[in-house]
Every structure is written in structure tokens, then in C-alpha cells.
Amino acid sequence: MERAMGRAMKYVVVTGGVVSGLGKGVTASSIGVVLKACGLRVTSIKIDPYLNTDAGTMSPFEHGEVFVLDDGGEVDLDLGNYEPLLDITLTRDNNITTGKIYQSVIDKERRGDYLGKTVQVVPHITDAIKDWIGSVAAIPVDGNDGPADVCVIELGGTVGDIESMPFIEALRQLSFSVGKDNFCLIHVSLVPVLGVVGEQKTKPTQHSVRELRALGLTPNLLACRSAQPLGQSTKEKLSQFCHVPVENILNIHDVPNLWHVPLLLRSQNAHDAILKQLDCVSIATPPDLVGWTKMAELYDSLTGSVKIAMVGKYTGLADSYLSVVKALLHACVACSLRPSVEWIATPDAHNAAWESLKSCSCILVPGGFGDRGVPGMILAAKYARENKIPYLGICLGMQISVIEYSRFVLGLERANSEEFDSSTPYPVVIFMPEGSRTHMGSTMRLGSRRTFFKDDGCLASKLYQNPTFVDERHRHRYEVNPDFVSKLETADLKFVGSDESGKRMEVLELKDHPYYVGAAVSSRIQIKTWKTFCFVFRSYIGWYRKTADISGAAFQMRFSI
């Protein structure tokens, strides 16, 4: 459905209250899914109130994974929900941070753009936020011409945080300037149940909404998170004290899997409430979520599973590898299996970790930085190689496989990466010459890069279903040393993919192994790489199912990949 010429942009703003981690990102993307299912074109913006310019220098333990975009933007992981679920390709400007806003305003002040005025949060910072939202919302992200119909904006953090105040004020001004028919505010809040009383408590949400209203914003809908469905009396109490109609109080209770959330919203007629608020009823159609329903039902019906070892550096926080976990989920469901991810941090240090590793059907080593845990990863790669266990190394995982092979097959005992040992006599992994050793932010090899296959009969070429090349997103500053490539290939570790120069190695495979693949792509990935990993992991899972004789029909996820 083409957006009518001259129609104003519609904004759906998602805020959060009470506590962080309520699932605002999933809620925002699911709202986008439902609106898209109604025939509307949707784009998304994520606002992060932290002072960092982007997420690139933040530890995964601090904020989850760093998500990489086609243009090289390092952004919040919630954009990793938006892109695959909405089938869109976002830009770095779709992630707004306090650092970006203040930097843009200070740059203008230094140029003299404010003509001697005193630069203040209001109006200069708030105007910059509104201008940024307006310009980014107009950028087409779905492959079609012209702006989208609706822009879903997620405000990170919790209402009341001091960092969020300029954004709250900017959104208040935006709601006034665009008009009530073009602005819909959805507040995500928590409705807990106290163990002693067993009653759903509305007071936290009441206080959160009261604070939001005191700041000049009144929610049109409430999205209440709870373990169990809300009782009617709870909804009525929320309606009375929060000034939100009962029919506009949505309940996003715990569900078995992600695909249920859009269905949950549709079943409560969330689309009707949003479309009515935005005056879009006449241009919308009933939501078509047949694919989502099939996927949710398929996952619920699965009984078989496959155990996958995730040998990583940040295993203490699952969100550190969120995209990889999502890819595993899609791949396993496509093979009618449930993924059982075994998080393994240091198999070199603990017998229990080794036993856990050996109990898994395949091994995955994702990306990371620094030398912590590397000895264990090397032993995991060695175990996979020697015992014919399927192995996938992503980014750091590819480098690990090169180090392991150099040490234990070529006999180069001190082979290492320059990152881990600057004095190694055999630097099989080296710092890329174009990188910066003094500045960390946005100095890596970032964004979509083309990989050319040297042999159209290689496994990677077949997995990608393209005999010539593939475009993938990258995030790394180290590469395989070209001086060691011929030695490694002579010993049957084949580099089947490289960049346009033919000197930077992108994909490796091990001859006479059922599945041993390394790829230089980032482990912080998006829709295209989800599709790739679905193919890759399907070969994983397909290999496992063949050996374990597990039957089941695969389901193609056409609606999301």
C-alpha cells in the first residue's frame, strides 16, 4: 500500500516505567509487525539516553550485543529486533543517543549557527531531537520509495531517569506540533504479583503513569507486563487511576516464544486502538498474521531438540549473543527441532565445562575481544576438529580455528594473534593496516562487505545459494595473516572466500570434515545474516538429524527471511 502524497507522518512512541528490561524493544517491534500486517509501511527509531555517541565501545555486559548495520553503524541491540521482524534495513541515524544530539548541537555552536544565542536544553537540544526524528522518519527503509506511514519510536530507559528528561520534553513538544491524530503514546509497565498476597498490584503502574503525565505526556494505551493474564478487575482499576480506557489496556503476559507477542496484541485488538488514535482506520486492512501463527504453533508443537555448545567470552549475559541465539532458534525450528544452547565459558579450566562440551552435538565460537577465555576456545576448536564435531567460528571463532590449526597441525607451537601476544614468532592473525591503534570508536572494519567465493563448489557457496559472492556485515580489526595462508591451505585448511583484493580471508573450511566452517562476519548480525545463519545452522542441524535419525518437516520462514 503506497503512502498517500502529502499525508503527515504518524508516530507511535513506546516508553517504559517501573523497571528496565520489561521488553520495550519486543513490544515496539511487535506493534510494528501488527501495523505492517494491516498494510501500513513502518519504520523505527530507537532513542538511547546514554552519553555514548554509539554502542561501539560498550561492553556486552553493560548493554548486550552491539548490533551492526549495513552502513557500519554500531547501534543498540533493539534494532536487531526491528530489522528482522519488520524486514527493513535501518541506518545509523535510526539510533539516537544523547551523545549524538549534544555533539550535533555543540558543533553548530562552534560554527556560530546560533548567532550569539545562549545554547540551552530548551529549545536547542529539544529542537535537535525533533529535527532528527523528523528527518530520519522520512527515510525509506523497506526498499520502496517515499516515507513510511508510521514511525515507531522506542524511548530507552525508564520514565523518571534524569538522562531521559530532554527526550521526554522533546516528545511532548512533538506530540503538540504534529497533533493528536498523528501521535500515539504506549506506555509499557509492570504489574507484579506479591508472593504473600497473590494479588496483581497496580500501584507501580499508577505511579509511573502519574510521573509521565506530570512531564506532559498522557499514554493512549498501556502495555502491562505480567507473568499471568490480567484480571478484569485489575484492568478496571488501571483504567480508573491511569485515565486510559479499559479497551486500551493491553496485557503482554509471559508467552512460550517471541512469535506469540504480535498475536497477543492482535487478539486484544491493539491495532484497532492504535489505528483509531492515528486516524488510519480507513487506509488499513485487517491484520494478516497467518505466517506468524504457523510459526508460533510449530514451535509449540516441537518435541525433539539439539544441544549446541556456545563457547564464548560473554556467556554470563545471553543478550551478548542475542542475534546468534535468534539465528539458532530460526534454524532449529526450520528443522523441526528446539535449540538447547549450552553456555560454556572456559572449558580449559573446569572438568564440568569439558563434560558439558562433549555432551553437545555441535560447537559454536562467536565473536569477542581480548584474550580472556581464548585457551579454552582453542581447545574447543581442537576437540571439534579431531572428533569430527560440527564447528562454526564467527569472527573471533574463525581466528581461533586458524590459531588452533597452526599450533596443532602445522606444529607452530607459539602461533597466536597479535591481539593476544604481540611478540609471537608466528602471528597468524594480525591487526588490519587501516585500523587505528589509538581510537576505539568506529575504527574497525564495519558494515556490509562483499565476500567472493574462490570455488563455487565449496560448502559456503552452497549454503549461501550463490556461487559467486555474498554480502555480509563485519565488525573486526584483526585478520588472517596473508603470509600464512598458503601453508595452511597446503595442510587442507581451505580459505574459500576472500574480499575483492583476494588477500583478506573471509571464509574457511576444513577438508574431509563433516562441517568445520569459519567466517569473518560479525556475530552482531541482522536479517541478511539471520538468513545466512539459518542456512549454516540448518546444515548443522541437518547433519545432527541425519546421524540421530530424527524426523520432522522443515518450515520455511518466508515472512521473516
Residue 466 is predicted with a pLDDT of 76
Residue 435 is predicted with a pLDDT of 62
Residue 559 is predicted with a pLDDT of 25
Residue 522 is predicted with a pLDDT of 61
Residue 401 is predicted with a pLDDT of 94
Core vs surface per residue 144-153: b (16+ CB within 10 A) or e: eeebbbbbbb
Does position 97 have pLDDT exceeding 90, yes or no? yes
Q: What is the residue whose three cell numbers read 555448545?
A: 309
- Euclidean distance between CA atoms 404 and 513, whole angstroms: 15
Model confidence band, residue 539 (pLDDT cutoffs 50, 70, 90): very low
Q: pLDDT tens for residues 467-520?
A: 788 888 877 778 889 999 999 999 999 999 888 888 888 899 998 888 899 988
Of 119 and 59, the structure prediction assigns the larger pLDDT to 119
Q: Mean pLDDT: which of 12-21, 178-187, 500-509 is highest?
A: 178-187
Does position 148 have pLDDT exceeding 90, yes or no? yes
Q: pLDDT tens for residues 17-34?
A: 888 888 898 999 999 999
- Where are any strands of DSSP class E within 200-321? 221-226, 249-253, 305-311
| Helices and strands, number each (H, E), in the chain | 18, 21
**DSSP codes of every residue in 186-213:** EEEEE--B-TTT--B--HHHHHHHHHHH
Q: pLDDT tens for residues 194-209?
A: 877 778 999 999 999 9
Residue 191, C-beta contacts closer than 8 angstroms, at least 6 positions apart:
200, 201, 202, 204, 205, 224, 225, 226, 230, 234, 238
Of 44 and 477, the structure prediction assigns the larger pLDDT to 44
Residue 82 is predicted with a pLDDT of 87
Residue 423 is predicted with a pLDDT of 92
The total of other beta-carbon atoms located within 10 Å of residue 423's CB is 8
pTM metric for this prediction: 0.86
**DSSP codes of every residue in 238-252:** HHHHHT--GGGEEEE
Of 435 and 146, the structure prediction assigns the larger pLDDT to 146
Residue 525 is predicted with a pLDDT of 35
Does position 71 have pLDDT exceeding 50, yes or no? yes
Q: Are strands 493-498 and 505-510 parallel, antiparallel or unpaired?
A: antiparallel
Least confident segment among 181-195, 400-414, 417-431, 432-446: 432-446
Residue 133 is predicted with a pLDDT of 97
Model confidence band, residue 434 (pLDDT cutoffs 50, 70, 90): low
Least confident segment among 133-137, 203-207, 338-342, 480-484: 338-342
Does position 540 have pLDDT exceeding 80, yes or no? no
Does position 526 have pLDDT exceeding 70, yes or no? no
Q: pLDDT tens for residues 241-300?
A: 999 999 999 999 988 888 899 999 999 999 999 999 999 999 999 999 998 898 888 888
Residue 274, C-beta contacts closer than 8 angstroms, at least 6 positions apart:
12, 31, 35, 184, 186, 221, 280
Residue 348 is predicted with a pLDDT of 60
Does position 316 have pLDDT exceeding 70, yes or no? no
Does position 399 have pLDDT exceeding 60, yes or no? yes
Does position 239 have pLDDT exceeding 90, yes or no? yes
Of 78 and 31, the structure prediction assigns the larger pLDDT to 31
Mean per-residue pLDDT for 74-81?
84
Does position 446 have pLDDT exceeding 90, yes or no? no
- Euclidean distance between CA atoms 394 and 367, whole angstroms: 6
Model confidence band, residue 211 (pLDDT cutoffs 50, 70, 90): very high
The mean of the pLDDT values for the chain is 84
% of the chain exceeding 70 in pLDDT: 88
400 and 374 in contact (C-beta within 8 Å)?
yes
Residue 149 is predicted with a pLDDT of 95
Model confidence band, residue 442 (pLDDT cutoffs 50, 70, 90): low
Q: Which three cell numbers, joined as nine digits, stand for 372? A: 580472556
- Euclidean distance between CA atoms 200 and 194, whole angstroms: 7
Length of the chain measured in residues = 561
Does position 174 have pLDDT exceeding 90, yes or no? yes
Residue 246 is predicted with a pLDDT of 95
Does position 542 have pLDDT exceeding 50, yes or no? no
